[in-house]
Structure 1
Amino acid sequence: MIPNGVDLPPEEESSVQASDRRYALFLSRIHVKKGVRELLEAWVAVAPDDWELVIAGQDEQGIMRRLNLPPRVRYVGPIDGSEKWSLYRNASLFVLPTYSENFGVVVAEALMAGLPVITTHGAPWECLESERCGWWIPMEPGPLRETLRDALATHPDELQAMGRRGQTVVAQRFSWPEIARQMVDVYKWMVRGGSPPECVVKD
């Protein structure tokens, strides 16, 4: 299985208003399976006053319009391009408590931007734990609250160190040169035979 590749665009100015507080970022389409309601409940329960939660993404079902957002939670709507990457770069933590993802491109983007990530077992990112660049947890209220509390209490230097480890993981596994190398290996194997490359999984 060859994963998607990820690029980090060059630094650009953004029209998205910067936050005065450190903030955690949720960036995805707003859908019930993405766990935004669960995230809000956990945030209200554990977030300290010096953190803000920024939610970004297309509100396909009008979920955000129906929610009474608590203090220190800001919905910025759908974003892309330089605005998206500005939000990544200025955040301190990325959170995606999803029920189901095939890959989770936003997780890879957040890691490439240098953010530690909290995501759930609905996304195939168990390497967050083994590579010490985030948290991979059950999609349940208790673990989400506890992990969010721990992450928000983590020293900024450690969060940054986790983010740097995440950048290394993405560069090694999901950069376009690495994806191209894996594709070449597969084609060579198909033509020449022999032992399959590591990315080929046989039942």
Structure 2
Amino acid sequence: MRIGLLTASASRQAGGLFWAMSSLAHRLCQAGCHMEVFAGRDLHSEEDRTHWGQIPLHLLERSGPAAFGYMPGLSKHLLNGQLDLVHTHGLWMYPSVAARGWGRSARKPWVVSPHGMLDPWAVRNSRWKKQLAGALYENRHLRDAACLHALCDAEAVAFRNYGLKNPIAVIPNGVDLPELPSEPACPEWAADLPDGARVLLFLGRLHPKKGLPNLLKAWALQNRLGAAPWILVIAGWDQNDHRAELEGLVASLGIINTVRFVGPQFGEQKDASLRRADAFVLSSFSEGLPMAVLEAWAYRLPVIMTPQCNLPEGFVAGAAVPVDPDSESIRGGLTMLFGLSDEARKQMGERGRQLVEERFTWSVVASEMCDMYRWVLGRGDQPSCVVLD
């Protein structure tokens, strides 16, 4: 099978979507699929090319408004690729137009992974722009797809609520399981931490949907209650100057001494950051299925997260503390986590690791994705991950 992965960005600029796509593409190659990637060129494309290894990466120049991401040469590249199927990752941009155009011209199927972009919060955000994009091209791209890929059951429900009737393959994201460290981890940002400080880590895009203002307000409330010596470390890629807003809030709340903004963490620094952390938090209003939580569990970290992270398995397994994305609920979650013994937090993290080993490794995910591709192309039976109603 020759599969074309189509996306607006194939670099770290795409956040968790980039890491998910690149990891999955490598595992699909190992499973026997021929993968090619088609994406717009951006500031980090060449720097991040190495993450794709030997997978052909076609970087195309963009033209016009950045929010649309028009790539003049994309349609020609897709038609010349002799692809069996195109898999679009993300919505609301030119790749949606190109995927449908390719499918109609080549008379071949395409698959769409919205990656949480049809969740209710996401659809309401910049609502009129998405209504316009839907009317002009996105709704046809979605409706005519041979299959939609949902990361979880909740996302599949969001597809149906949007009015889509296509087959849906429910396949989660995956992670690679880290090896045991040969020596204690010490990321660059940890050098000036107070002696004995424990670290609650946030790792992800600095974006309003992540609920960081409410997390900071909850942190301020917890600090006023005389909490144990914990430091909140906020690591991630700044989007639309959200970091400046957050830093202003930290100053106004008087919590500068217990909050650190450490910027994006990649490669060895990301690994070291996760190893140095004692717990993880994701207070999002909306997610597809967050790679960050799966990675935290893979590193045996207890997690505080909202139901909107769409990982109810974590609550059932006792690997996460549930909170709503408001400051008072988050404060209660912090109190609960900090009140546990070190051993209880360790056991919570171990339950998360076990959950990832059983359900969220890339080998399992790639196998299900291959089965879905074969079914869409008429080369295999309907897999159990596909639902038709």
TM-score, normalised by the number of residues in structure 1: 0.88
Paired position in structure 2 for 1:17: 189
- Asked if 1 retains the 8 angstrom alpha-carbon contact of 2:187 and 2:272, the reply is no
Task: After TM superposition, list the pairs within 5 Å mapping 1:31-180 onto structure 2.
Answer: 31-47=207-223, 48-66=227-245, 67-68=247-248, 69=250, 70=255, 71-180=257-366
Number of aligned pairs? 201
Change in 2 beyond 3 A, CA 1:58/1:192: closer
Structure 2 CA distance for partners of 1:168 and 1:41, relative to 1, 3 Å: same
Residue 58 of structure 1 deviates from its aligned partner by 1.2
1:185 Cα deviation (Å)?
5.2
Query: Which structure would you say has the larger Rg?
Result: 2
Distance 1:187 1:60 in 2: 34
Q: RMSD over aligned Cα, in angstroms?
A: 2.2
Structure 1: state its 5+ residue gaps: none
- CA distance in 2 between counterparts of 1:14 and 1:52 reads 15
Structure 1 residue 9: deviation in Å? 4.6
C-alpha distance in 1, partners of 2:306/2:287? Answer: 10
Per-residue CA deviations over 1:129-172 (Å, capped at 9, x if unaligned) read: 10110123322222211111111111111111111110111111
How has the CA–CA distance of structure 1 residues 191 and 27 changed in structure 2, closer, same or farther, with 3 Å as cutoff?
A: same
Between the two structures, name the one with larger relative contact order (CA 8 Å, sep ≥ 6): 1
Unaligned runs of 5+ in 2: 1-169
Q: Name the structure 2 match of 1:7.
A: 176
C-alpha displacement at 1:2, in angstroms?
1.2
Q: Distance in 1 between matches of 2:331 and 2:284?
A: 14
If the length of structure 2 is used for normalisation, what is the TM-score?
A: 0.48
Which residue of structure 2 aligns with residue 27 of structure 1?
Answer: 203
Q: In 2, Cα distance between the equivalents of 1:14 and 1:23?
A: 12
Q: 1:90-136, CA deviations, whole angstroms, 9 ceiling, x for partnerless residues?
A: 11110010011111110111110111111112211111110110123
1:186 Cα deviation after fit:
4.7
Going from structure 1 to structure 2, the CA distance change for 1:81 and 1:184 (only over 3 Å counts) comes to same
Higher mean alpha-carbon deviation, 60-69 vs 91-100, is at 60-69
